[in-house]
């Protein structure tokens, strides 16, 4: 089913209420740097999605599949077998030059220079106030070459910001349009890719990647993902994406999954979503992601984070479980001891746990494990308790 016309706006808004896909993707609120009148972008697979009657909706300025046969069915298939996600909307930049001399080393919260070839590293692009402009992954392709993978909604702004911080002699190219990306995820993904694409994939460790010949082109196959399951991200020329999609889905162990299932999967393992759990007003320390900040190196926003670390955060990330199947939503109020102590940033029903789960930002004294919280919205009031992460601990991600 494809939602179009006036019916789309109300229908899509209901979808966002259910899925908690970030604020920057909501109708009427275009991604930073993008004009609201610009048409939605489409991936090379839009025809395949329509052929399968996918429910389509705007996400990060793109017309993307939310579900095919159903969010819960696709979620379970990924947890138990293998699901294929179209992630061609993500942005990719190619850096060529001296990592240190060209200035790339001073841009992110982690060191690029110390990433070995064939490995990748996760971290942040910050503003001067220490807020998160984007969360991203850098792949070290060669001593003088790196690929930066960024979120769709922030891609245009990221390219401008990163480019402005580089020094003479460094070259940054936006290769997003020429690069396609598919994410096969699930406990059977290794077996499927090994059978269809080659035995060398079986030996790729977590957060490492290989380059290989695939469908007559060079491809990057990375052991990374966003689901908490064993999985891969495959980058190859965009003109080859449809062929690879068809090849992978010819295997009955693999089924397509939309962004609805992807959002539930990432929430169950506590992964942050940009636009909900992260944005330019939230620092990595507040988001509970300080382990991805290297204070032994220079980066924009470091002074602000050092000051916050000394003064202490006025709010912190919290994870909580509901005492029922009722689901918290983005921007619901969080109360404790008769006072509002924060707001939810993500929430939904966990199929694996059989209850509602959520993430939020609260006053630090309200984030003690086991503490009781009340989640409120209008006339709705729900009881929850603070818990640790991940919510779901049986994933196959590191097998």
* Dihedral sign computed on CA atoms, order 188, 68, 180, 217: positive
Containing 265, the helix (H) or strand (E) segment is helix 259-268
Q: What is the DSSP string of 200-262?
A: GGGGPPTTBEEEEEETTEEEEEES--SSSSSB-EEEEEGGGHHHHHHHHHTSTTEEE--HHHH
Name the residue with tokens 């694409």.
Answer: 197
pLDDT band at 16 (very low <50, low <70, confident <90, very high): very low
pLDDT, tens digit, 9 for 90 and up, residues 157-186: 999 999 999 999 999 999 999 999 999 999
Residues 285-302, mean pLDDT to the nearest whole number: 98
pLDDT, tens digit, 9 for 90 and up, residues 47-88: 999 999 999 999 999 999 999 999 999 999 999 999 999 999
Tell me phi and psi for residue 77, to 5 degrees: -60, -40
Could you give the angle at the alpha carbon of 223 between the alpha carbons of 218 and 226, nearest 5°?
A: 115
Mean pLDDT of the chain: 92
Half-sphere exposure of 180 (CA within 13 A, CB side): 22
Structure tokens of 29? 């609120």
Residues 17-40, mean pLDDT to the nearest whole number: 54
pLDDT, tens digit, 9 for 90 and up, residues 305-323: 999 999 999 999 999 999 9
Q: State percent of the chain over pLDDT 90.
A: 90
**Is the per-residue pLDDT at 3 higher than 90?**
no
CATH code given to domain 91-174: 3.30.70.1400
pLDDT, tens digit, 9 for 90 and up, residues 183-235: 999 999 999 999 999 999 999 999 999 999 999 999 999 999 999 999 999 99
Report how far apart, in Å, the C-alpha atoms of 399 and of each of 3, 201, 215 are.
39, 14, 27
Q: Which fold has domain 5-90+177-268?
A: Gyrase A; domain 2 (3.30.1360)
pLDDT band at 29 (very low <50, low <70, confident <90, very high): very low
Q: What is the DSSP string of 148-184?
A: EEE-TTTHHHHHHHHHHH--TT-EEEE-TTTEEEEEE
How many angstroms separate the CA atoms of 390 and 396, rounded? 13
Residues 124-129, mean pLDDT to the nearest whole number: 98
How many angstroms separate the CA atoms of 322 and 318, rounded? 13
pLDDT on residue 337:
94
pTM for the whole structure: 0.92
Containing 361, the helix (H) or strand (E) segment is strand 355-362
pLDDT on residue 35:
62
Query: Is residue 19 within 8 Å of residue 329, measured between CB atoms?
Result: no
Query: Is residue 89 within 8 Å of residue 22, measured between CB atoms?
Result: no
Q: What is the DSSP string of 92-105?
A: EEEEES-TTTTTGG
Could you give the angle at the alpha carbon of 288 between the alpha carbons of 104 and 304, nearest 5°?
A: 55
Query: Is residue 256 within 8 Å of residue 249, measured between CB atoms?
Result: yes
For the chain, the domains span 5-90+177-268, 91-174
Report how far apart, in Å, the C-alpha atoms of 291 and of each of 122, 124, 285, 286 are.
10, 11, 9, 12
pLDDT band at 21 (very low <50, low <70, confident <90, very high): very low
How many angstroms separate the CA atoms of 15 and 259, rounded? 11
DSSP structural state of residue 271: -
């Amino acid at each position: 089913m494809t939602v179009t016309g006036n019916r789309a706006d109300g229908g899509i808004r209901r979808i966002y209420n259910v899925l908690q896909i970030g604020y920057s993707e909501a109708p009427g609120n275009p991604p930073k740097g993008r004009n609201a009148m610009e048409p939605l972008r489409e991936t090379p697979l839009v025809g395949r999605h329509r052929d399968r009657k996918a429910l389509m909706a705007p996400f990060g300025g793109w017309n993307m599949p939310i579900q095919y046969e159903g969010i819960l069915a696709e979620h379970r298939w990924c947890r138990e077998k293998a699901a294929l996600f179209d992630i061609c909307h993500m942005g990719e930049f190619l850096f060529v030059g001296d990592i240190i001399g060209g200035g790339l080393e001073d841009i992110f919260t982690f060191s690029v220079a110390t990433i070995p070839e064939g490995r990748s590293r996760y971290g942040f692009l910050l503003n001067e106030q220490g807020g998160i402009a984007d969360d991203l992954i850098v792949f070290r392709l060669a001593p003088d070459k790196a690929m930066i993978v960024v979120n769709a909604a922030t891609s245009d702004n990221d390219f401008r910001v990163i480019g402005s911080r580089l020094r003479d002699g460094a070259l940054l190219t936006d290769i997003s349009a020429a690069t396609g990306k598919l994410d096969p995820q699930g406990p059977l993904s290794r077996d499927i890719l090994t059978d269809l694409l080659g035995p060398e994939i079986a030996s790729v460790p977590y957060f490492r990647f290989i380059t290989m010949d695939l469908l007559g082109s060079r491809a990057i196959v990375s052991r990374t993902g966003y689901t908490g399951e064993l999985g891969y991200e495959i980058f190859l020329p965009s003109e080859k994406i449809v062929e690879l999609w068809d090849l992978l889905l010819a295997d009955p162990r693999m089924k397509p999954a939309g962004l609805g299932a992807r959002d539930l999967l990432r929430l169950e393992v506590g992964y942050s979503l940009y636009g909900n759990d992260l944005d330019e007003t939230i620092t990595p320390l507040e988001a509970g992601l300080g382990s991805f900040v290297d204070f032994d190196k220079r980066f924009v926003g470091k002074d602000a984070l050092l000051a916050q670390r000394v003064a202490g955060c006025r709010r912190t990330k919290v994870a909580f479980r509901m005492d029922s199947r009722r689901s918290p939503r983005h921007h619901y109020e969080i109360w404790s001891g008769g006072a509002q102590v924060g707001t939810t940033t993500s929430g939904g029903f966990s199929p694996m746990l059989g209850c509602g789960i959520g993430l939020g930002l609260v006053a630090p004294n309200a984030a003690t494990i086991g503490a009781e919280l009340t989640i409120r919205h209008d006339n709705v009031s729900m009881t929850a308790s603070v818990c640790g992460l991940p919510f779901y601990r049986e994933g196959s991600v590191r097998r």
